[in-house]
Amino acid sequence: AQTVTQSQPEMSVQEAETVTLSCTYDTSENNYYLFWYKQPPSRQMILVIRQEAYKQQNATENRFSVNFQKAAKSFSLKISDSQLGDTAMYFCAFMKHVYLGYSTLTFGKGTMLLVSP
């Protein structure tokens, strides 16, 4: 079974600054996917970024980037130039690769990020 750990229940950052959210995971799988989801106060779950474990290059999406360290089983999210709209709960999630059928997501407990003016 996989586990995902987010050790920071809450974080705060000022507008325009950079913040990094931590995520570690435990798995015996070699082929898998990692995701960051954002849940703003509206409670809609929004995919922020994803990383394939077989890719060494870190994924980036505009102001969002990850630091994927496979050996250390670490998957942190960096938000650059933070904006007020980034205020949300952020969830790290793990999904193992399967060759047939569908896989399931295992979520961390989340980190609440507050961006202040």
Partner 1 sequence: DGGITQSPKYLFRKEGQNVTLSCEQNLNHDAMYWYRQDPGQGLRLIYYSQIVNDFQKGDIAEGYSVSREKKESFPLTVTSAQKNPTAFYLCASTREVSNQPQHFGDGTRLSIL
Instruction: Judge contact between 37 and 93, C-beta under 8 A.
Output: yes
Instruction: Judge contact between 44 and 20, C-beta under 8 A.
Output: no
Choices 21-29, 55-63, 79-87, 105-113 (CB under 8 A): range interacting with partner 1: 105-113
Q: Which residues pair with 24 in a beta bridge?
A: 5, 74
The answer to whether residue 64 forms part of the interface with partner 1 (CB under 8 A) is no
Closest CA to 11 of 79, 106, 108: 79
Q: Per-residue x/- mask for partner 1, residues 14 to 43, rule CB under 8 A?
A: -------------------x-x------xx
Q: Per-residue x/- mask for partner 1, residues 71 to 90, rule CB under 8 A?
A: --------------------
Stated as kind and residue range, the H or E segment containing 27 is none
The least CB distance from residue 108 to partner 1, in Å, is 6
Complex with partner 1: residue 3 or 12, whichever CB lies closer: 3
The answer to whether residue 101 forms part of the interface with partner 1 (CB under 8 A) is yes
Q: Which residues of 20-36 are buried (b: 16+ CB within 10 A; e: fewer)?
A: ebbbbbeeeeeebbbbb
Write the single-letter amino acid at 18: T
Q: Which residues bind partner 1 (CB under 8 A)?
A: 4, 9, 33, 35, 42-45, 47, 50, 52, 91, 95-105, 107-110
